[in-house]
Amino acid sequence: MAKKSKRYSAIMESFDKTQTYDVAEAVKNVKSFANAKFDETVEMHIRLGVDGRHADQQVRGATVLPHGTGKSKKVLVFAKGAKAEEAEAAGADYVGAEDLAEKIQKENWFDFDSVVATPDMMGVVGRLGKVLGPKGLMPNPKAGTVTMDVTKAISDIKAGKIEYRLDKTNIVHVPIGKASFDEVKLEENFRAIMDAIIKARPSALKGTYLKSMTLAASMGPAVKLNTAKIGN
């Protein structure tokens, strides 16, 4: 393990891991911990009081971050005919149908970050569920990635659209930008995601929705957030 700098060690000595912070303080702390030689990604991890094993307690969706993720995304579109031409014109990085599905299956090819499909292509895309699903790449109507409006889907992704969904332990993991972003941009991206997740609260849920939340840069410690100040 790489040796930590004296500055990092001093910060950690004064940092109370048990304390919870409001959003502004948490963002400030996370930025101060980002000492790696690359531009670290800032992620939020939200433990929800739902049971994702039940269909009526699933939390899944997408939202566009006002300041993007800091990463340019490659978009693959499954479409034919006029919709394929529309996708190319809208800036898709790869456009195709059975040819791309075969490339993914046979070559284990994943040189893309997001997948969009027109509804008529789901017969082809559905066969890729076992390889796209675990990577979080499977197109989904709720996320706006199974659509006839491929232009909007592509522009949203390129503008900083992120998808969120529960993992097996009922935690949502999402990026809110890079450590190089100023504090205001990170806070505004944070609030955009939180607004979407709070709106996605299942009506079947009884009790606390936001159990716990942390913010962390790629190589930094997790900073706990005060969920009471965010909304439950």
Checking if the pLDDT of 1 tops 50, the result is no
Q: What is the pLDDT of residue 4?
A: 59
State the pLDDT at residue 79: 97
Q: What domains are defined for the chain?
A: 17-68+162-229 (3.30.190.20), 75-158 (3.40.50.790)
Give the C-alpha distances (Å, rounded to integers) separating 85 from 78, 120, 136. Answer: 11, 15, 26
How do residues 51-107 score in pLDDT, each as one tens digit?
A: 988 988 989 888 989 998 888 889 999 999 999 999 999 999 999 999 999 999 999
pLDDT band at 230 (very low <50, low <70, confident <90, very high): confident
Supply φ then ψ for residue 46, to 5 degrees: -120, 115
Spatial distance between the Cα atoms of 94 and 87, rounded to a whole number of angstroms: 9
Question: What average pLDDT score do residues 193-198 get?
Answer: 94
Q: What is the pLDDT of residue 11?
A: 61
Q: How far is CA 156 from CA 64, 114, 164, 170, in A?
A: 7, 11, 15, 26
Evaluate whether 176 touches 95 at the Cβ level (below 8 Å): no
pLDDT > 70 in the chain, percent: 93
Query: Which 8-state DSSP code applies to residue 42?
Result: E
What are 23's two structure tokens?
Answer: 């959003």
Give CA–CA dist 67/55, Å, rounded.
Answer: 32
pLDDT tops 80 at residue 232: no
Instruction: Kindly report the pTM of this predicted structure.
Output: 0.76
Question: 95: part of which helix (H) or strand (E)?
Answer: strand 94-96
pLDDT in tens, 16-47: 778 899 999 999 999 988 888 899 999 999 99
Within 10 angstroms of residue 88's Cβ, the number of other Cβ atoms is 16
Taking the C-alpha atoms of residue 76 and residue 69, their distance in angstroms, rounded to an integer, is 18
